[in-house]
Structure formats: C-alpha cells, structure tokens
Structure 1
C-alpha cells in the first residue's frame, strides 16, 4: 500500500536526520553546522515526501518549502526545518492524512483516462474501452478498500453491490454505475460488437466523474 511506503520513508528520514554529521566551526564560532551536502540531501528527500503525502497546497508542504528556502547549514537553522518535518510525520502517523492512497491512485487512474480519451479520438474504440474499463474496476476496488470494505477476489458487480449497500454511491452516480459491469465485461472479454463509441464515452465519463468526487485531494 502507498500509505505503508510513505510511513516507512518517514522513519528512514527521521533516522537520517538523527545521524546528521554536525561539526564544530573551525573558526571557533559558537554552535555547530552540518556540511551542506548532508542536510540538503535530507531536506530535498523530505520535501518530496511531504509533497507526495500531503499535497503541494497543504500547510505542511508550504511551510517546509518556505523555510527550506531560508535554511542554511547552521544547526539551529536545520533543526527548525526538522521541526516542520516532525509535525508532518506526527500528523501522518496519527492518521490525519485521509486521502493519500486515493489522491495518488487518482493520479494514476487519471493517466489511464487520458490515454483512453486519446485512443478514442484516434478511432481506436476497443483500446479505449479496455483502458477505461481497467481504470474503472481498479478505482472502484481501491475506493472500496479505503472505506473498509473487503473486496478480495470479488467481481466488479460484487464491488458495485458492496458500494451501493454501504451507501457510498448515490444519486445519478449510482444509476450510471449499474450499467458499468456489463460494459466492462464486454470490453475485457473482447466482445467488441457489444460496445459502441457512446458506450466507451460513457465509461470514460463515469471514471472521470468518479475520480473527481472520490479521489480528489
């Protein structure tokens, strides 16, 4: 899971900071410093992790980036940067980042949708159908998992029923979703005569709508 990977990286970066090689100033100045390469390596990796975990517009990312731009090798300067990292780490480990799996997955599924639209525009209806259907099925399962539902080896129809039963989809989205398993089956079983361009457009449109409502940060 993406969440587990991020959690492990937070711990790795905390260890890296703990082992930062502070040195005394050679001119006898009070305090210590960190050789430029060491703290910048840590800070660059940390900024990347915080951006991925929280999003670029988050206070954690903005505060870290703003402070990073002003940081130098002095111990007190690097320690201040570490304080922002600790706040992000504590919030992440405390469960206050609810959308990390959804947001990152949404970006991946979004790429599939772009490819599907491009394929459809070039007349490759069948390719577009497969791409959109695969993205849809994975998105539904990913969303169900984040909501605590056991999807296991369940079919797409089973996952749809789970989501509906849990009240996680409703309104027009629920009505449209009922038609998706049949279209998905036709696409992934190469039953091209059962799929029209409007059908493929409807799959793509549904995936786009689902990602916007369920996977946006």
Structure 2
C-alpha cells in the first residue's frame, strides 16, 4: 500500500473516531460518567486495530497502546483512540514509517536468506525455496511502496493483497527494474510456488541454489 493510501486510511479512521465521539452521552446524577455508543465504538476499535496490525504489527507500541486504551465504551477511550491515530497519521506523513521499516527489513532479510542457504546446504531444498521466495515477495512489496505501486486492490468492497506475480508486472511497468529482472522473478516465484504446493519433483537443489544467489544479487542491486 502506498504511503498516501496509508495516510488516507488513517485519516478515515480518525474521522470514524470523531463520529463515535459525536455519540457521547452522560449518565448524569451523582456519579456522572461519559459514554459513547457501544456498537460504533466496537466498529471503530476493530477497524483501527486491523489497520495498525497490518501497518506496524502487533508487537509495536502503537498497537499495544491502542488495544489497552480502547477496551471500554467510555468517551475517554474514544478520545485516546483518536489521539493515537493522529500520531500515526503524522508519523506516516513524515515518512518515518518507511524509513524505519527499510532499515529493519534489510537486516531481517539478510538473516532469512542466510537461513535459507543453511537449509539448502543441509539438504533441505524445499523449505529453502519457500523461505527465499517469501523474502523476495516481501522485497517486491517494499519496492511497490518506493515506486508508488499499490499492493492492494478492491474486490467486492474489500481491499485484498495483490499476488506477487501482479506486483512483479506492475513494478516492471513502473521501470523499477528491467524486463529481464521481471522474467527472472517470474521463474523464482514459480519455483517458490512449486515448493509451497508440494511439487518437489519439478525443481532441483541446483535450481534452488541459483534462485538464492539470484535473489540475493537482485535485492542488493535493486534496493527498496
């Protein structure tokens, strides 16, 4: 998903949160408590947690803070949720999300490729192929962010992730890399899919080794 789309979605959720706040009511009496309507609050919380999870992951402080700050349908919980989303929107708009993720992912990817190489050397070509292919697909998704290529498409009112083959075609069209790279990536993704679906006889350990070397070189040359 593009940075602009992430920011737009954050703004939509902020607007939803403010709509929830507009439902606020008071119990009155000696022990006055300010609530918001339960159903809108539940919908707001669910949508926001899904967004934060997909953007940052469940281990990120934003997710944990939102989760624990919006457990009830008090007005103060809705206000806290809106404030967290506003901070997230500012972070995305400032470019901090992508810069942090790119630094972390480079190190993580290197670790996974090293693990895939170790699996291959130990005679486990199939999990090595799946792991290498997964790293490649995530790299494509990060390249999409860099080159303004959407990683999602709308289907029946829902946004679903585009498949890696589609991302590959769109990135080549956007001149993120050459047509030769596109063909190589198509072959690597096919090999990964064969491994993931148990079609182990359709490729050899030598081909997995070539894939691993090729993906490593490609990621070093075409950086996200």
What TM-score does the superposition give when structure 2 sets the normalisation length? 0.52
The equivalent residue for 1:170 is: none
Instruction: Give the whole-Å Cα distance in 1 for the aligned partners of 2:24 and 2:139.
Output: 46
The equivalent residue for 1:201 is: 209
Instruction: Give the whole-Å Cα distance in 2 for the aligned partners of 1:91 and 1:51.
Output: 15
Provide closer, same or farther for how the CA distance between residues 199 and 100 of structure 1 changes in structure 2, counting only shifts above 3 A. same
Q: How much does 1:82 deviate? A: 2.5
The equivalent residue for 2:38 is: 36
The equivalent residue for 1:65 is: 67
Provide closer, same or farther for how the CA distance between residues 121 and 37 of structure 1 changes in structure 2, counting only shifts above 3 A. same
Provide closer, same or farther for how the CA distance between residues 156 and 142 of structure 1 changes in structure 2, counting only shifts above 3 A. farther
Provide closer, same or farther for how the CA distance between residues 6 and 31 of structure 1 changes in structure 2, counting only shifts above 3 A. same
Contact 2:2 2:145 in 1 (8 A): no
The equivalent residue for 1:81 is: 81
Query: CA-atom RMSD, angstroms?
Result: 4.8
Instruction: Give the whole-Å Cα distance in 1 for the aligned partners of 2:216 and 2:3.
Output: 23
Instruction: Give the whole-Å Cα distance in 2 for the aligned partners of 1:86 and 1:142.
Output: 24
Q: How much does 1:138 deviate? A: 8.9
Runs of 4+ in 1 over 6 A off after TM superposition: 100-104, 132-135
Q: How much does 1:135 deviate? A: 8.2
CA deviation vs aligned residue, 1:168-215 (integer Å, no higher than 9, x gap): xxxxxxxxxxxxx7xx28949x9xxxx85412333146548959xx78
For structure 1, the 5+ residue unaligned runs are: 123-127, 160-180
Paired residues in the alignment total 167
What TM-score does the superposition give when structure 1 sets the normalisation length? 0.53
Q: How much does 1:86 deviate? A: 2.0
Q: How much does 1:99 deviate? A: 5.7
CA deviation vs aligned residue, 1:96-144 (integer Å, no higher than 9, x gap): 101698799x99xx9xxx9xx9xx749xxxxx89xx7898599469538
Contact 1:54 1:100 in 2 (8 A): no
